[in-house]
């Protein structure tokens, strides 16, 4: 499948990205908020903001993405990569797109001298966990959330 991987958001039309992103929000049962969508677009198009995106395009449609950023890691004394989310449109799963997105992020990580890239995964998402275990390991940490 000839998928094009793009890491320059300025090459993407807002409406195409928004349509794809709303599919992601609905898939994960998140609230669709126009205000949040606009805010994320501003982050992604602001070179000084830590949030970034890698997009998979097939036949001129966005079919997958990774939102990622760098985080400072006090133990390492340097930055590491962190994936906020990975999403592939349902009809394009198991086509190698996620692997291509991850490989592209690895190149970015090497360029930025990250030692590791980390992310969270729903503990009940067996398909994603089985995919991730092919190239990464599970850490023995829990994610906590404190409401402010």
Three-state DSSP class for residue 111: helix
Residue 81 has pLDDT above 90, yes or no: yes
Contact status, residue 117 vs residue 82, Cβ threshold 8 Å: yes
Q: What is the pLDDT of residue 146?
A: 87
Q: What is the pLDDT of residue 15?
A: 95
Mean pLDDT to the nearest integer, 29-50: 95
Residue 47 has pLDDT above 80, yes or no: yes
Mean pLDDT to the nearest integer, 116-141: 93
- What domains can be seen in the chain, in order of their start residue? 4-132 (3.40.630.30)
């Amino acid at each position: 499948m000839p998928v094009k991987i793009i890491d320059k958001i300025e090459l993407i039309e807002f409406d195409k990205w928004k349509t794809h992103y709303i599919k992601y929000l609905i898939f994960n049962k998140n609230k669709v908020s126009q205000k949040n969508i606009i805010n994320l677009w501003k982050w992604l198009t602001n070179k000084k903001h830590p949030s970034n995106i890698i997009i998979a395009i097939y036949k001129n449609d966005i079919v997958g993405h990774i939102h990622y950023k760098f985080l400072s890691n006090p133990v390492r004394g340097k930055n590491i990569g962190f994936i906020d989310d990975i999403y592939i449109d349902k009809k394009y799963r198991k086509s190698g797109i996620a692997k291509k997105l991850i490989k592209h992020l690895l190149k970015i990580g090497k360029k930025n001298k990250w030692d590791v890239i980390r992310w969270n995964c729903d503990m009940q998402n067996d398909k994603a966990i089985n995919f991730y275990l092919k190239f990464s390991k599970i850490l023995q940490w829990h994610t906590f959330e404190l409401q402010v």
